[in-house]
Amino acid sequence: MPKITFIEHNGTSHEVEGEAGMTVMEVARKNDIPGIEAECGGACSCATCHVYVDEGWLPKTGASEEMEEDMLDFAFDVRANSRLSCQIKVTDELDGLIVRTPEKQF
Amino acid sequence: MSNSPIETDVVIIGAGPCGLFAVFELGLLDIRCHLIDILDRPGGQCAELYPEKPIYDIPAYPIISGQELTDALMEQIKPFDPQFHFNQRVDEIEKLEDGRFHLKTDDNQEFICKNVVIAAGGGSFTPKRPPLPGIEEYENGSVHYSVRRMSDFEGKDLLIVGGGDSALDWTLNLTPIANSVTLVHRRDKFRAATDSVNKMLALREEGKINFHLGQMTEIHGENGEMTGVTIKGEEEVLVKCNRLLPFFGLTMKLGPVANWGLNLHENLISVDTEKFETSAEGIFAIGDINSYPGKLKLILSGFHEAALMAQKVNAYINPDKKVVFQYTTSSSSLQKKLGVK
């Protein structure tokens, strides 16, 4: 089971187990990680599951696709490592992934 | 503007799938409905959040998109001639002495009805407020999340933020009347209609608008009067402005529902599972907005809730009418209502 670490804006860290095939957003929701709202339920339509991927993991998570990039326009404090966690599929390759949640999902 | 109150049997708050299907179930019982929705079209979340996305758990439809489901429901309820009131939010509900309800929207439209059905899903869609410290202070004049009157912006220094159709349309429409317009977007790519993007680029070329690549970090001003906003991009700039128009899409908020005196459970309206009635007699809640033991936020659950709610509404509205349960397949009277020839 790939492990994923979510680090809140205040520094609180949560290491949880994901499952290949789930999205990072679903893993967060399943484990009640604060700071991931996922209002639209994973349809890439709301930008409330915005996370910052730890720089070292960027090559493995890949870049966002156009639709996700468009939706990130609705997020706040978007950075080069911003992703919508509903669009990152968990794979065994991502074992150890670290993502940070923004101060607010707005 | 104040219109004279509209009198009807039932007002349904929310024109998402559950609100639409409620029209059908009530219609079969000869109960007429008006629907009010904050969006500009029917469908609720299906239309706003996932019009093109497939839904796989509507009975008998292995796959159907949010828009297709909405269109099919609109077709299904056509025989009952529901009346829609879009772009409005119900702000007040009050029980009258005669037992009916008086509703008022933020557009000052009033309704008087025998029963109210709240089918408001996740609440009302409201514009996202950028989480900038102190932004509330400026919302009484300087910050606008929509344009209700263009004249409010005449001769002003505008800062418009966003890269979609709203941001670009207002950039194009307000530039001729504003003193200055600055558009800010986080990237040099716009989701808006190509024609609008081209027109905006032309205004940029001609120097009629300013453009900055970046994101807002701080609002400046005093006593509720904005004087400027700091934009952080490659470098930091202070844009002088006295009107800010942020366009970051919509989010769902429970909104005024919380003030109607209904029993709530974790921000959802508590109902019983026999009639889906709230703690206030005569007011019902169906779909994602209600809460009861075992609740599943599924469209199909909302459809079931609509059917049971309709029976109780019928008992309220037609207390003396004998209820004969009928199937649409075999009942000639139901088929007549549906316009089956």
Looking from the CA of A73 toward its CB, the CA atoms found within 13 Å total 27
CA distances from B68 to B43, B83, B95, B218 (A): 10, 20, 37, 43
Under the banding of pLDDT at 50, 70 and 90, the label for residue A6 is very high
Query: Phi first, then psi: what are they for A83, rounded to 5°?
Result: -145, 160
CA B262 to CA B260: how far, in whole Å?
6
Under the banding of pLDDT at 50, 70 and 90, the label for residue A19 is very high
- Residue A49, helix vs strand vs coil: coil
Strand B110-118 relative to strand B101-105, pairing: antiparallel
Pull the structure tokens for residue B98: 């005669």
**B50 with A40: Cβ contact below 8 A:** yes
Residues of A with CB under 8 A from a CB of B: 39-40, 43, 45-48, 69-70, 72-74, 76-78, 103-104, 106
Nearest chain B residue to A74, by CA: B248
**A40 with B45: Cβ contact below 8 A:** yes
For B128, the closest of A69, A70, A106 (CB atoms) is A106
Share of chain A above pLDDT 90, in %: 82
Predicted confidence pLDDT, tens digits, chain B (341 residues):
556 899 999 999 999 999 999 999 999 999 999 999 999 999 999 988 888 888 999 999 999 999 999 999 999 999 999 999 999 999 999 999 999 999 999 999 999 999 999 999 989 888 999 989 999 999 989 999 988 889 999 999 999 999 999 999 999 999 999 999 999 999 999 999 999 999 999 999 999 999 999 999 999 999 889 999 999 999 999 999 999 999 998 888 888 999 999 999 988 999 999 999 999 999 999 999 999 999 999 999 999 999 999 999 999 999 988 888 889 999 999 999 999 88
Place of tokens 């929207």: B105
Q: What is the pLDDT of residue B77?
A: 98
Domains and CATH numbers, chain B: 6-125+251-337 (3.50.50.60), 129-248 (3.50.50.60)
CA B189 to CA B223: how far, in whole Å?
36
Domains and CATH numbers, chain A: 3-100 (3.10.20.30)
Q: Which of A73, A79, A86 to mutate to test the interface with B (most CBs of B within 10 A)?
A: A73
Residues of B in contact with A39 (CB under 8 A): 122, 251-252
Q: Is the pLDDT of residue A44 over 90?
A: no
Q: What is the pLDDT of residue A58?
A: 94
